Structure 1
Amino acid sequence: MTRQLLLSILLATTMLRVSASASSVDHNISKGLMPVSKEQSIKMLQPFKGDFRILGSKIYAHDEQAKFSPIDYAVSWGLFAEPEIARHISVNQYDRYLNWKIDRLPVPKEQAMQMVSNMHIIPANPNIAQQIKNVKRGDLVRLKGDLVEIKDKDLVWTSSLTPTDTGDGACELFRVSSIEWIEKVQG
């Protein structure tokens, strides 16, 4: 009986270690490392860069995409990156989606919709993996990297290639290799 109990404990401990190491390997990309799992790949679609006002950010740890993108940024650019406009934009981020509103649109609705986006951020290296979590609402950041496609088992997650599109599939899947603060909110 004691021997059976010891074998059961040993088996359970071994299974937990295997499960933990598999989970760790699966999340390599979200830590800024290259994929180790044979089922995962990152394909560069095109270079991408820009100056973006951070309207909000949301950290993800438990959805399927968290293995690749640990954080989403709600961003604006162009006219909507101006502080006097950006401060009036309210955002709600959930389940990798973004809803936003502003009381008075300074431009036609169709144009306004093209200056706000939800970006799924993938760190290109461990240093960036730490930096991407330091953004605050109101920061103006210069991001450089690539729009990518991620594959994993049955998942194919492809970036939009047009920053002015809207609706489902309009988000950028952005593998960030550089982040520079142009303006940083104090506090």
Structure 2
Amino acid sequence: MNFTTLIKIAIFLVVAFFGIEALRVRHADQTLQRYAGAGAAFPASDGPVQGAASGQGFEFRGYQVKPLASFAVRARVLAREDYRLGREADLSPVDLALGWKRMADPKVYGPLNITQGGRWYRYSWRDQPPIPLQEIVESSANMHMIPANAAVERTLKQVKEGSYVRITGQLVQVSHASGWTWTSSLTRSDSGANSCELVFVESVQLEP
């Protein structure tokens, strides 16, 4: 195989990669748009849908908000924790620990000891976890909720543990002139420090 052929193959592979990635992002964005409408039929078990960021950065309550990705999720509320103190609470008064796929099933998450505190979500079990640990990691998350307006904040205050919630908005990075920053995770496969989603919530719907 000569050098020219190798170059052609390399170019083909690069074009193919970016073509596939463009289709993936387009599909995610179309899904987000479909879900964003009031009463839209979110999938019961597909988990969060993430697409390209929409819009430019903006000022919010004295902070700069930079959208990182569009975001939508329908999930079971595994736990909630309210916060009133600290800079983070100025923006995000509530964290929701959310579960999807098998982590939305009470038979799976019920045996787990689930707690929140200090902006963390923790779980433990006796003997063996109900499902593989990595599956727990990839189908649940602690999310910091930044309500975009008073109506969203009122609805978030009504969220109950064990119910389903539908959320659309943006995963964001928030910064302050003092140098302080708070950045969302952009993957569902991480755990530990910096693994929580920071969600600028533009719409929230509760299910009975």
Please say whether Structure 1 and Structure 2 have the same fold, judged by a TM-score greater than 0.5: yes
**Compared CA separation, residues 82 and 63, structure 1 to 2 (3 A):** same
Shift of the alpha carbon at 1:107? 2.7
- Is 1:146 the equivalent of 2:146? no
1:22-171 aligned within 5 A: 35-37=60-62, 40-103=63-126, 104-152=128-176, 153-171=178-196
TM-score, normalising length: structure 2: 0.66
Cα separation, 2, equivalents of 1:53 and 1:76: 5
TM-score, normalising length: structure 1: 0.73
Amino acid at match of 2:139: M
Cα separation, 2, equivalents of 1:131 and 1:98: 22
Cα separation, 2, equivalents of 1:78 and 1:52: 8
Cα separation, 1, equivalents of 2:203 and 2:109: 23
| 2:136 partner SS | helix
Cα separation, 2, equivalents of 1:107 and 1:87: 12
Ranges of 4+ aligned residues in structure 1 off by more than 4 Å: none
Q: What is the aligned partner in structure 2 of residue 22 from structure 1?
A: none
User: What number of residue pairs does the alignment pair up?
Assistant: 148
Cα separation, 2, equivalents of 1:89 and 1:54: 14
Percent identity for Structure 1 against Structure 2: 32
Structure possessing the higher relative contact order (Cα contacts under 8 Å, 6 or more residues apart) = 1
Unaligned runs of 5+ in 1: 1-33
Shift of the alpha carbon at 1:131? 0.6
Cα separation, 2, equivalents of 1:47 and 1:36: 21
> Which stretch has the larger CA shift, 106-115 or 76-85?
106-115
